[in-house]
Structure 1
Amino acid sequence: MNLTTQYLQRSRALLDTIDAQTEAIQQAAQWFSQTILAGRMVHLFGSGHSRIMVEEMWPRYGSFPGFNPIVELSLSFHNLVVGANGQRQAMFLENVPGLASRILRNYALSAQDSALVISSSGSNVVPIEMAELFQQAGVKVVALVTRQHAEKSISKRADGKKLTDFADLILDTGAPVGDAMLTIPGLDTLVAPGSTLGGVVLVNCIKAEVARLLTEAGQPPRVLSAANVVGAERAVTLFEGAYDEHAHRLAKLYQHVGIPSYVSEQRTLPISPNV
Structure 2
Amino acid sequence: MTKTPTAAAYLTELAERTARLMELNGDAIAAAADAVERTARADGLVYIFGTGHSHTMAEEAHYRAGGLALTVPILSTPLMVHEGAVASTAFERMPGMVAPVLRRYPIGPSDVLIIVSNSGVNAATVEAAEAGKAKGATVIAITSQDYSRQAARGRTRVADVADIVLDNGAPPGDAIMSVPGSQLRVGPISTSIGAALMNAVFAEAAVRLQSSGAAAPIYLSANMPGAAEVNEGLVARYRPRNPHL
TM over 0.5, yes or no? yes
Among 69, 72, 84, the alignment partner of 2:73 is 69
C-alpha spacing 1:109/1:4, structure 2 compared with 1 (3 Å): closer
8 Å Cα contact 1:17-1:174 kept in structure 2: no
Q: What CA distance in whole angstroms lies between the structure 2 residues aligned with 1:194 and 1:90?
A: 21
Letter in 2 for 1:242: L
The yes-or-no answer on 1:137 pairing with 2:135 is yes
Q: What's 2:200 paired with?
A: 205
The yes-or-no answer on 1:172 pairing with 2:167 is yes
Give, in angstroms, the shift of residue 62 of structure 1. Answer: 1.0
Structure 1 vs Structure 2 CA RMSD? 1.8
Asked which structure has the greater CA Rg, the reply is: 1
Q: What CA distance in whole angstroms lies between the structure 1 residues aligned with 2:201 and 2:179?
A: 34
Letter in 1 for 2:175: A
C-alpha spacing 1:222/1:110, structure 2 compared with 1 (3 Å): closer
Structure 2 unaligned regions, length at least 5: none
Q: What's 2:151 paired with?
A: 153
8 Å Cα contact 1:17-1:173 kept in structure 2: no
Give, in angstroms, the shift of residue 216 of structure 1. Answer: 2.8
Q: What's 2:238 paired with?
A: 246
Q: Which secondary structure does the structure 1 equivalent of 2:66 belong to?
A: coil
Q: What's 1:181 paired with?
A: 176
Aligned sequence identity (%): 30
Give, in angstroms, the shift of residue 166 of structure 1. Answer: 0.7
Q: What's 2:112 paired with?
A: 114
Give, in angstroms, the shift of residue 136 of structure 1. Answer: 1.1
Q: What CA distance in whole angstroms lies between the structure 2 residues aligned with 1:105 and 1:195?
A: 28
Q: What's 1:190 paired with?
A: 185
The yes-or-no answer on 1:56 pairing with 2:54 is no
Q: What's 1:39 paired with?
A: 43
Give, in angstroms, the shift of residue 250 of structure 1. Answer: 4.0
Give the structure-2-normalised TM-score. 0.90
Among 228, 231, 242, the alignment partner of 1:236 is 228
**Superposed CA offset, 1:67-119 (max 9, x none):** 1110111111x33xxxxx32111111111211222122223332111111000
8 Å Cα contact 1:183-1:191 kept in structure 2: yes
Q: What CA distance in whole angstroms lies between the structure 1 residues aligned with 2:212 and 2:48?
A: 23
C-alpha spacing 1:70/1:227, structure 2 compared with 1 (3 Å): closer
**Superposed CA offset, 1:191-218 (max 9, x none):** 1111111101101101101111221342
Structure 1 unaligned regions, length at least 5: 80-84, 252-275
Letter in 1 for 2:102: L
Give, in angstroms, the shift of residue 162 of structure 1. Answer: 1.2
Q: Which secondary structure does the structure 1 equivalent of 2:98 belong to?
A: helix
Q: What's 1:9 paired with?
A: 12
The yes-or-no answer on 1:218 pairing with 2:216 is no
8 Å Cα contact 1:56-1:203 kept in structure 2: no
